[in-house]
């Protein structure tokens, strides 16, 4: 009877809510440790699992996650834009930027897609008392993160947003989609060879995945040496001190790493999933712990 009681106690419900992070590559994802720590601090019964999903398996993965009753999760490269077609409802932010990084299962079982990347990025600047209103900002890239950040910059009434990408059509598509939302001037510039950051730029955002998990990779950009007041930001979080940020710092720029954005977008996601605001300082410490263990 004693053995039966022990087994019975182990199988007591309810089951914890399950959350996912899907992408490819996904090895080295520190978000799992960060979210687990946030759940523990909130005394929330949840489990967060990192899952590698190749592009060819995205559709089947989403249906599988639904069938298994996952309560939501995160989406990272290269699925942020492709995933839209498999969701039931989208937030205004997701609709504008055509990218999703956060999914929440609603009470009726639908999957609701949102984008917390851009909001998380702006909060990472606000945390350092950096404002974007009326500023000239260059966004490098045109993927999910770049689109989300450009969207929030326009909503926040930046003075000018310059979209720079190798495939100019993608930048033009973002500019067209965001045109007229505010008084922000939208400019598309070609990226041929090495792109030089102009002297009058206030903030430059490296919003591509170049450098992720690769400390020796960097986008092909140049700083003029007259950018001492320039703020250089990178959305890449692993490594924290990317080669792009190292180059910017050598040029005298103020740098903002990707950890702040990662923490803030994660905090917004946890709020959606649990209904409670997590401790962002604790989440930052969890990320630092995760990197220290590597």
Pick the closest to residue 50 from 82, 18, 84 (CA basis): 18
Dist. CA 160–CA 169, nearest whole Å? 19
119 is catalytic: no
Neighbours of 193 (CB within 10 A): 8
Distance of CA 265 to the CA centre of its chain: 6
* SS3 at position 63: helix
Whether the bond between 78 and the residue before it is cis, its omega within 30 degrees of 0, is yes
The residue to which tokens 């053995």 are assigned: 3
As to burial, measured by CB atoms within 10 angstroms (0-12 exposed, 13-18 middle, 19+ buried), residue 85 is exposed
Q: Give me the catalytic one of 37, 55, 80, 98.
A: 80
How many Å is the Cα radius of gyration of the chain? 20
Catalytic residues: 80
């Amino acid at each position: 009877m004693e053995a039966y009681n022990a087994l019975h106690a182990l199988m007591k419900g309810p089951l914890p809510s399950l959350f996912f992070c899907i992408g490819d590559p996904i090895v080295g994802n520190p978000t799992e440790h960060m979210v687990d720590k946030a759940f523990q601090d909130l005394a929330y019964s949840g489990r967060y699992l990192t899952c590698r999903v190749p592009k060819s398996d995205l559709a089947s993965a989403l249906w599988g996650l639904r069938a298994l009753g996952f309560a939501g999760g995160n989406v990272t490269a290269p699925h942020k834009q492709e995933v839209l077609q498999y969701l039931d409802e989208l937030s205004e932010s997701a609709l504008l930027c055509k990218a999703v990084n956060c999914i929440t299962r609603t009470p009726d079982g639908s999957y609701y897609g949102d984008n917390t990347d851009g909001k998380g990025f702006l909060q990472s600047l606000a945390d350092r008392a950096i404002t974007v209103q009326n500023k000239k900002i260059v966004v490098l890239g045109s993927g999910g993160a770049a689109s989300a950040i450009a969207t929030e910059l326009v909503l926040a009434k930046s003075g000018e947003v310059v979209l720079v990408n190798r495939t100019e059509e993608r930048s033009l598509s973002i500019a067209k989609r965001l045109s007229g939302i505010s008084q922000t001037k939208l400019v598309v510039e070609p990226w041929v060879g090495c792109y030089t950051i102009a002297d009058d730029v206030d903030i430059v955002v490296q919003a591509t995945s170049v450098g992720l998990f690769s400390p020796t990779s960097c986008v092909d950009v140049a700083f003029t040496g007259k950018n001492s007041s320039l703020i250089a930001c990178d959305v890449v979080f692993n490594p924290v001190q990317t080669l792009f940020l190292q180059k910017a710092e050598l040029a005298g720029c103020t740098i903002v790493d990707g950890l702040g954005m990662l923490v803030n977008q994660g905090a917004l996601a946890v709020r959606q999933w649990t209904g409670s605001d997590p401790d962002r300082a604790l989440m930052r410490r969890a990320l630092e712990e995760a990197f220290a263990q590597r």
